[in-house]
Amino acid sequence: MPAARGLVVAGSAGPALWRNLRARLDADRARWSEPNPLDRFVAGLFSRADTALSKAGVQFRRFEAAFHAEPRLDFIAMARLVGLGSPGPFTMLIHAEHGAWWALRGAWLVDSEVDPPLTHRPPCVGCSAPCIGGWEKAGVAQATPEARARCVVGQQSKYDDDQIVYHYERVATVARLRAGRL
């Protein structure tokens, strides 16, 4: 998009997005069987943003962080560009307010000026890294639910237990949600 002058990156933090998805899909449990129900839900929300941009006369190209999305882009790099987070010791960007309890969802290149990047203070600077048992393990540690729960930043934004299980054990969780057992 040669006319692009701005980048807007969207994410979600905490359990609010999940709770809205649960409310919608729990009314029709069979919809949990649809491919990637969370990605489909987010795409619906993004369509509303697309409509608003179009009505404002802003040309744009939307990119999604969904599993099926093409082209695959480096959303971590984009989030860093706009000041949304900095690398933590367990392969995730850590947000200054939400810690590890947030996710990148999408981005728009726009032909419009946008606000400057957020001022971001890397929250892991000076931290002893209890999330992974010390910095000597950084670079090999994975973003497990346990590591996220041990991060000292953003615990007020912690995902609901069923949301955590969904992200880490999706197939089994969808079966339980569809059957109304979660």
**Does pLDDT of 171 surpass 90?**
no
pTM: 0.86
**Alpha carbons 96 and 98: distance in angstroms, whole number:** 6
Neighbours of 163 (CB within 10 A): 20
Q: By percentage, how much of the chain surpasses pLDDT 90?
A: 67
Degrees to nearest 5, angle at CA 135 with 150 and 91: 65
Query: What pLDDT is recorded for position 35?
Result: 80
Whether the CA torsion 56, 60, 63, 68 is positive or negative: it is positive
pLDDT reported for residue 43: 94
Q: Is residue 152's pLDDT more than 80?
A: yes
User: In this prediction, what percent of the chain has a pLDDT beyond 70?
Assistant: 95
- Residue 154 near residue 98, CB atoms below 8 Å: yes
Tens-place pLDDT, residues 74-121: 888 999 999 999 999 998 999 999 999 999 999 999 999 999 999 988
pLDDT in tens, 46-81: 999 999 999 999 999 999 998 788 888 888 899 999
Q: Where are the domains of the chain?
A: 6-112+125-178
For position 91, what pLDDT does the model report? Answer: 83
Q: How confident is the model at residue 145 (pLDDT cuts 50, 70, 90)?
A: very high
| Torsions phi, psi for 63 (to 5 deg) | -125, 140
The two three-digit tokens of residue 141, written as one number: 């540690």
